[in-house]
Structure 1
Amino acid sequence: MELATPVMAYVYGEDEAKDELTLLAAIENSGKQEDTKNADIEISADAQKANGDEEETQDPIAAAGAENVAATATPVWTKQAEVNRDKLLDFDYLVKNFYRIDRTTTIDSSELNPGQLLAKDLTIDTNVGGPVILIYHTHSQEGFVDSDGSEGMTVMGLGDRLTSLLQDTYGIPVLHHRGKYDVDGRDYAYSNAEPEIRQVLADNPTIQVVIDLHRDGVGDDVHLVTDIGGKQTAKIMFFNGLSRTTSTGPIDYLQNPNLQDNLATSLQMQIAAAELYPGFTRPVFLKGYRYNMHMCPKSMLIEVGAQTNTFEEVYNAMDPLANILAYVLLGQSHT
């Protein structure tokens, strides 16, 4: 049967329009609330389990600052729902159910071709003698409603937790880069980050995946949360920059030769999330600019909850997120 999901209103982007340089500063930021909904999916017979057999994690607040948090998730990839692949071939259906396109940009079926994007092999090689995934934070200072000002209760603490899960549970070597690019303001955070991230990639040629981990900025009355395994868990959102705006067309100084791989990565992650954890993700957000996603083909910008979530809620989101990442990157989604 078709799953009707509740509509959640949200506001995206406290400051994302201030990207990299100020040449396009006159373009409006997307500050209005928009209605979102998840994709139509068919629910399997055991969907009610919702991964309820997972063990309880240790206290997230106490563990947040630790660099080597013991992982408690197990690599179980049981589908709770099935996305209709035939319907995905309809561009209008795909956009309506899996994406939210900011008014500052446009995309058509030539770039957003589900057949081509889903056919891309995103499998990683973990036996390369070095880190395979890079996690960093363009906005390292982003915290949550109950954050106490410590680094451990910001997105940096989430990076520690995700690193631990990917390494300890799934055997994927991770480098968690702790650079801070927004301490004095966010206006040039992406420009500040790019040369250092390029150097990290040059120094670690084994890296195959790059994750820029954020939290979103929403209206004060918006609470992005769902229940996974009996735990209140912040929703996440995959994000792509298209290097093109509606008003100016392609942005020549923000070219992205890896755009198709970026789009394939977010779409395959979104489909995996819809099948493993229905309701966990918001629609993939598409916007203009580039957001430094041009530096690696398998680049992801991931928003975990928002400033209205508690740290426990966003911490809980790291377990299903790690499971989804491993499911796709270890090739389980194509088996």
Structure 2
Amino acid sequence: MKSEGTSKKKLKKALKTSTAVVLLTTAVLSVIYRLPLCFESQNPAALAAAAFTLTNGEYKLENSKAEKPTASDQKPTESADTEPVAEKNHKRDKSTYYDSYGNHDGENKYTVEERTIGDTGTQVDNCFVKNKTGLSLDFDGLLSAKLPFSIDKGINSPQVLIYHTHTSEAYLDEDVDFFYDSFYSRTNNNDFNVVAVGDALTEQLNKRGIKTVHDTTIHDESYNGSYDRSVDTVYKNLEKYPDIKVVIDLHRDAIGTDENKVKPVFTYNGKKGAQIMILAGCDTDGERGFDCWEENLNFALKIQDKAETLYPDMTRPLNFDYFAYNEYVCNGSLLIEVGTESNSIDEATYSGSLLGNAIADVLLN
């Protein structure tokens, strides 16, 4: 009986030992399996999250619950004094457009020159006006005058219209200092033309609580008659949305030669943007049917000054001259050019967002 009891004790001891060995071996193998996965992540935090605790011969993965975001992790609140929150850019489709890094064998290569254009003309508060009319105007008085219209914060109807007379005006696909023969700065691919900038502007105005409609109708299948076609689009929108107070025709400019293009840039918070230029027309003799030109100029000056206050060097001097384009449709109608064809699409859309913030400040003041 004694020997039988001893045998049972030995067997029990052996089973315990075997169990412990199996558990320990399993734990070690699990650690060996998990560690390479952690190192593949190239993230030290992943190593900490994958740490194992060995207790009582058992293993378990530490519970890595999602931590509450810190103040620096949370999405900042947008205000007049901050840069708009940039949304993650979607992947743009170059398959129907130009690719700076594509195959350009046999093509001539030309240059893109960066410049910051400003500080010329008549200074008005924080901004500059290039007065091409020869008129002696009190620009400071116009800037300080009350805006001739107001945004109604209590309605849920569009009060701003964004459209494009030259809808196919496009930008470079990348921030580069060169371009090839095959670069043609017009496209109906809305990932790379002024429609993308209009989207950014519209999004920012809507974020600031100003309901905005963006009409992307193509008006420039032919340059001839494009303004006649686009003003028809404007009137259709004004009829559909009678609360519209602001009408912006968004373009892009072109500076330089066929072999040396110029892109106007500025930098804000370490990020490069395309300079904008506001065009405000004049009609002193009534030939253009543009009776509200001084009120439009008031609006233009306010946007120009606000943009320069918030984002220094964002604007080229305001272009004030004898023209009307479609600005006669209402006293809040302007033509604004964002960058040139040699600015990158990212620079242009960034400026579209900043412009939206500046316009919102003027309208909500």
Shorter-chain TM range is 0.5 to 0.7
Aligned to 2:136: 108
TM-score normalised by the chain length of structure 2: 0.61
Aligned to 2:39: none
Counterpart selection for 2:293 from 259, 277, 291: 259
Give distance in 1, aligned partners of 2:85 and 2:269. Answer: 9
Counterpart selection for 1:160 from 182, 196, 199: 199
The answer as to whether partners of 1:129 and 1:206 remain within 8 angstroms in 2 is no
Deviation at 1:128, TM superposition (A): 2.5
The answer as to whether partners of 2:327 and 2:334 remain within 8 angstroms in 1 is yes
1:172 aligns with 2:210: yes
Counterpart selection for 2:355 from 300, 314, 321: 321
Aligned to 2:249: 212
Deviation at 1:270, TM superposition (A): 1.1
Give distance in 2, aligned partners of 1:297 and 1:55. Answer: 30
Give distance in 1, aligned partners of 2:281 and 2:246. Answer: 17
Give distance in 2, aligned partners of 1:177 and 1:106. Answer: 35
Give distance in 1, aligned partners of 2:272 and 2:139. Answer: 34
The answer as to whether partners of 1:52 and 1:229 remain within 8 angstroms in 2 is no
Give matches, 1:56-205, under 5 Å.
Answer: 56-59=86-89, 61-62=91-92, 93-94=123-124, 98-102=128-132, 105-109=133-137, 112-121=138-147, 123-146=150-173, 150-167=189-206, 169-184=207-222, 186-205=223-242
* Structure of greater relative contact order (alpha carbons < 8 Å, 6+ residues apart): 1
Deviation at 1:114, TM superposition (A): 2.4
Aligned to 1:305: 339
CA separation of 1:119/1:54 partners in 2, compared to 1, >3 Å: closer, same or farther?
closer
Deviation at 1:257, TM superposition (A): 1.5
TM-score normalised by the chain length of structure 1: 0.66
The secondary structure found in structure 2 opposite 1:181 is coil
The answer as to whether partners of 2:282 and 2:293 remain within 8 angstroms in 1 is yes
Aligned residues: 243
* Unpaired stretches in structure 2, ≥5 consecutive residues: 1-80, 95-120, 174-184
1:279 aligns with 2:316: no
Give distance in 2, aligned partners of 1:132 and 1:283. Answer: 27
Amino acid corresponding to residue 216 of structure 1 in structure 2: D
Give distance in 2, aligned partners of 1:60 and 1:316. Answer: 14
The secondary structure found in structure 2 opposite 1:107 is coil
Task: State the Cα deviation string for residues 148-200 of structure 1 (Å, max 9, x = none).
Answer: 75122110111112111211x2011111112221112x232112222221121
Give distance in 1, aligned partners of 2:82 and 2:161. Answer: 30
Deviation at 1:221, TM superposition (A): 3.6
Give the number of the structure whose alpha-carbon radius of gyration is greater.
Answer: 2
The secondary structure found in structure 1 opposite 2:346 is helix
Give distance in 1, aligned partners of 2:293 and 2:318. Answer: 14
Counterpart selection for 1:238 from 269, 274, 278: 278
CA RMSD, 1 decimal: 2.7
Aligned to 2:60: none
Deviation at 1:115, TM superposition (A): 1.5
Give distance in 2, aligned partners of 1:269 and 1:256. Answer: 20
Deviation at 1:311, TM superposition (A): 0.4
Give distance in 2, aligned partners of 1:302 and 1:60. Answer: 25
CA separation of 1:60/1:277 partners in 2, compared to 1, >3 Å: closer, same or farther?
farther
Amino acid corresponding to residue 134 of structure 2 in structure 1: T
The answer as to whether partners of 1:170 and 1:326 remain within 8 angstroms in 2 is yes
Task: State the Cα deviation string for residues 76-134 of structure 1 (Å, max 9, x = none).
Answer: xxxxxxxxxxxxxxx965499611134xx43322xx44224422235411323310100
* Unpaired stretches in structure 1, ≥5 consecutive residues: 1-50, 65-90, 245-249
The secondary structure found in structure 2 opposite 1:98 is strand
Aligned to 1:85: none
Over the matched positions of the two proteins, sequence identity in percent amounts to 32
The secondary structure found in structure 2 opposite 1:222 is strand
The secondary structure found in structure 1 opposite 2:228 is helix
Deviation at 1:62, TM superposition (A): 3.9
